[in-house]
Structure formats: C-alpha cells, structure tokens
Amino acid sequence: MEFKVEEKEKFKLIYLSGRCDLTDFEKFNSVLQESISGDYKEVLIDCTDFEYINSSGLKAIIMNAKEFKQKGGNFSFVNLGTNVEKVFSITGYTDLFKIFKTTEEALKYHEK
C-alpha cells in the first residue's frame, strides 16, 4: 500500500494506492492517526488507485473515525473502485461515511 497526503486550506487529502491487508495495518493506521491529529475537521480519502481492503484496513478506518468524530471531524471517501465499494457496502461503511463519485464533487463539497 502506498499513500500521499496533501494539506488543503480546509481539509486533508489522502491518496491511497495498492492493497491494504494485515501487513499494512500499522502503516495505514499511522497515516490516519497523523491525519486526525491536527486542526482539520475533514479528511478526504481518494481511492482512485486503491484496489483492495480487508478487515484490518476497515478496523483502522473505524477506530480513527470514532476518535476523529469525538473531535468533531469526519472522514469522507471518493472514487471507490468496484472491490472497495463492494466491501464498504457489505460492511455498512457506505452508510457511515460520505462517499463521492467524482473528485470534482468531493473537492467542491470540501472547499465550500
């Protein structure tokens, strides 16, 4: 799994690529922890090149989302691929998080 983090004026943007499984848990959890540690209230996660996530990746998301929510923050996701979207749908994550179909839609929402 690879990632890149950009700090925008009103939110953080994380680009994920590759696959997230048990071997990536610590790395992914660390990226999410760093993203919620600042003053931002929104973190947008771009999944354009993100191919796969398993239960360990989902655990990292939900653990950090819970902590972030207590600070008044929210995660949102954009460009979920077919496999990731299927996992999000089955696990109910599509009901827990704001999901955007396009980058333009997500940026417009977060930059308002």
pLDDT of res. 52: 96
pLDDT of res. 11: 93
Residues of the chain predicted below pLDDT 50? none
22 domain residue, yes or no: yes
User: Whole-model pTM?
Assistant: 0.93
pLDDT tens per residue, range 81-108: 999 999 999 999 999 999 999 988 998 8
The CATH number for 33's domain is 3.30.750.24
pLDDT of res. 101: 94
Q: Which of 76, 16, 89, 6 is CA-nearest to residue 41?
A: 76
pLDDT of res. 111: 78
Which residue segment(s) compose the domain that 87 sits in? Answer: 2-105
Identify the burial level of 29 via C-beta atoms within 10 angstroms of its C-beta, where 0-12 means exposed, 13-18 middle and 19 or more buried.
middle
Domain count, the chain: 1
111 domain residue, yes or no: no
